[in-house]
Amino acid sequence: GRVLIGLALIFVSLTMIRDATEPLRDSKGLVTAMTYLGADPVTAFAIGALQDGMEALEHACGIYPDNPGLRMQLGVVRAHIGDLQGAQAAFIEVLDLDADNIDALVSLAQLCRATRHFVEAVDILDHAARIAPDNPTVMGAVAATAKELGDDRGAKAGEVG
């Protein structure tokens, strides 16, 4: 008797799920996305893995709120899945914990460049260059930003520096 009741409840819940998701099946955007992900299992797996990784990092940040390394990784994962505001917030939290964190400064500058906020990117990279004047990552970011701004002298200085 219990087995039959269990099976009946499973079928009822499957019917409820089918009814609840029926409007999604008619969505052209969802059909396009699912068709693409069906043809590209690597991307589908990567998106799922990044989402799982982000959830685990968020949980870890809740347990260890003063760990800049966890917050840095959370920012990187958020940037990879396209959550630029969440990534920016995570990098700012890193800088609140460690104001001289070069990785967070460079990542924040890259986000600024990606969103076409070049003045902010230059200010952040200027700060990073004062902290670590010989850091190749900082100099590369300075060169890339200068090149995007059309400053050939700054781009060459960043490449050489």
Q: What is the pLDDT of residues 28-87, one digit of tens each?
A: 665 566 565 556 666 656 667 777 777 887 888 888 888 898 888 888 888 877 888 999
**Model pLDDT, residue 13:** 79
**pTM exceeds 0.75 for this model:** no
Angstrom distances, CA of residue 122 to CA of 13, 57, 87, 106, 108:
55, 29, 19, 10, 11
For position 70, what pLDDT does the model report?
A: 83
The residue among 157, 158, 62, 54 whose CA lies nearest residue 109 is: 158
> Which pLDDT score is estimated for 58?
85
Residue whose C-alpha is closest to residue 86's, from 98, 97, 77, 95: 77
DSSP letter for 117, please.
-
Identify the pLDDT of residue 95. Answer: 94
For residue 144, pLDDT beyond 50 = yes
Task: Check: CB of residue 71 under 8 Å from CB of residue 90.
Answer: yes
- In angstroms, the CA 32 to CA 61 distance is 35
Instruction: Compute the CA torsion angle 140, 146, 150, 154 (nearest 10 deg).
Output: -90
CA distance 135 to 161: 9
10 Å Cβ neighbour count for 36? 11
How high is the pLDDT of residue 27? 60
- pLDDT of amino acid 159: 45
What is the SS3 assignment for 3-24? HHHHHHHHHHHHHHHHHHHHHH
Stretch 4-20: mean pLDDT: 78
pLDDT confidence bin for 160, thresholds 50/70/90? very low
User: Residue 161: pLDDT above 50?
Assistant: no
Q: Write the pLDDT tens digit of every residue in 96-134.
A: 999 999 999 999 998 888 888 888 888 899 999 999 888
Mean pLDDT, the chain, rounded, equals 78
In 3D, which of 75, 54, 57, 55 has the Cα closest to residue 65? Answer: 57
